Amino acid sequence: MITIAVDAMGGDYAPREIIKGTVFVAQEHSDVQFILVGPPRVVRDELASSLPSKNISIETASDVIEMGEQAAWSIRSKSNSSIVVGARLVKEERANAFVSAGNTGAVVSAALLTYGRIKGISRPAIAVVVPTPVRPVVLLDVGATADCKAENLLEFAHMGCVYAAKIVGVVNPSVGLLSIGEEKSKGNELVQVAHGLLEKSGLNFVGNVEGKDISLGKTDVVICDGFTGNVVLKLMEGLAGVIFSEVKQVISGSVGSRLGGLLLAPGLRELKRKLDYEEYGGAQLLGVDGVCIIAHGGSKARAIKNAIKLAIQTVSKGVVKEIGDSLVAEE
């Protein structure tokens, strides 16, 4: 029996949208148990407005870590916060995964401290699945480790390949190293050293890829440091939003274009959905010895639902064990 702990208090639309999303999944997955972590009264009040689900329980966490709080400090001083309590449920094997849309830094720190790292991994990475017209691309790290060594990037590549194989379902995933030119000699010092390590890694390493190659879906996995990856992720979200709102302006420009927009509306809606992060569940914290899904801070019920489904999938596919095994096989 799989059990998923959900941070009821994390994210811009907590607790309402978080609980709504959890209830959705609980009704679909009667074979999975759900634990909502938060102040019981708040959680119960929200649950009261939805259909009762036998497979949802509540775990008390009286404190909340706010979005802006400093991560390391907050998880130490708020040991009774929903983030720390949620991570602890996994450590104590009362849950198989923890899902939170709260303060990313605090979730990473809590998981790292509570779960510990997988043997052979020195730094964690956050992986996201980026939608592209060609294929879903696993991009990591998008923010767990801002300053990386070349060895970290090699570890990220191993983890990204397991993730692409298990979650996206790709056989022998191709790996690209994000750089600023295709030649081996291009890039900063970090990627030049990492390139050499990746060549000898035994992975299906195809060499450097550039910024455009992420959105063009050139490889199954793209590796970068957490600073670059986070800039990339937020830029992609921002730029897609800007272009769609500009298209909307074009549509509202005249009677003719409004009619045109009406005719295109279903297709454009579908396209927007296709490029929307909410469809893709949330980010996976890899390298820690347990499953931790970081949903977007702006998640509404649908995004939470997808994040929880990703957690279920990650648990049932045994991603964490597989990462450990792949590293042992490497040694």
Q: CB 129 → a copy of itself: shortest distance, Å?
A: 16
Nearer to a copy of itself, 2 or 268 (CB): 268
User: For a copy of itself, which residue of 55, 257, 313, 326 counts as binding (CB under 8 A)?
Assistant: 257
Tokens 């997955």 appear where? 29
CB of 81 to a copy of itself, least distance (A): 19
Q: Which residue has the tokens 């939608």?
A: 131
Residues near a copy of itself (CB under 8 A), total: 65
239 binds a copy of itself (CB under 8 A): yes
User: With respect to a copy of itself, which residue has the nearer C-beta, 104 or 314?
Assistant: 104
Min CB(322)–a copy of itself separation in Å: 29
Site for a copy of itself in 177-216 (CB under 8 A): 178-181, 183, 185, 187-189, 191, 210-216
Regarding 242 and contact with a copy of itself (CB under 8 A), the answer is yes
User: Which residue from 38, 39, 102, 226 is in contact with a copy of itself, where contact means CB under 8 A?
Assistant: 226
d(CA 183, CA 195) in angstroms, rounded, equals: 10
CB of 12 to a copy of itself, least distance (A): 15
Other CB atoms within 10 A of residue 242 CB: 10
Report the alpha-carbon angle 313-71-233, nearest 5.
55
Among 1, 52, 256, 331, binds a copy of itself (CB under 8 A): 256
Question: How many residues are present in the chain?
Answer: 331
Distances (CA, A) of 127 to 95, 134, 179: 21, 19, 18
Q: Which is nearer to a copy of itself, 262 or 328 (CB)?
A: 262
Which residue in the block uniquely carries the two structure tokens 């998008």? Answer: 142
> Shortest CA distance to 126 belongs to which of 248, 272, 296, 271?
296
Task: Candidates 28, 66, 147, 330: give the one binding a copy of itself (CB under 8 A).
Answer: 147
**Binder among 271, 316, 325, 328 for a copy of itself (CB under 8 A):** 271
Phi-psi domain of 142 (left: phi exceeds 0; alpha: psi -120 through 50; beta: other): alpha
Q: Quote the CA–CA distance of 284 and 27 in Å, as a whole number.
A: 24
User: Does 77 contact a copy of itself by CB under 8 A?
Assistant: no
| Closest residue by Cα to residue 166 from 7, 325, 25 | 325
Sheet containing 174-178, strands listed edge to edge, beginning at the edge strand earlier in sequence: 56-60, 32-38, 2-7, 97-100, 291-294, 283-286, 125-130, 137-140, 221-223, 174-178, 204-209
- Our finding on whether 243 is near a copy of itself (CB under 8 A) is yes
Among 31, 92, 270, 331, binds a copy of itself (CB under 8 A): 270
Q: Which stretch binds a copy of itself (CB under 8 A): 11-19, 26-34, 218-226, 303-311?
A: 218-226
Query: Cβ atoms within 10 A of the Cβ of 293, count?
Result: 27
Min dist CB 10 to a copy of itself, Å, is: 16
Q: Specify which residues 100 forms β-bridges with.
A: 294
CB of 209 to a copy of itself, least distance (A): 10
Q: Can you give the binding site for a copy of itself, defined by CB under 8 A?
A: 68, 70, 105, 132-133, 143, 146-147, 178-181, 183, 185, 187-189, 191, 210-216, 224-228, 230-243, 245-247, 250-251, 253-254, 256-257, 259-264, 267-268, 270-271, 274-275
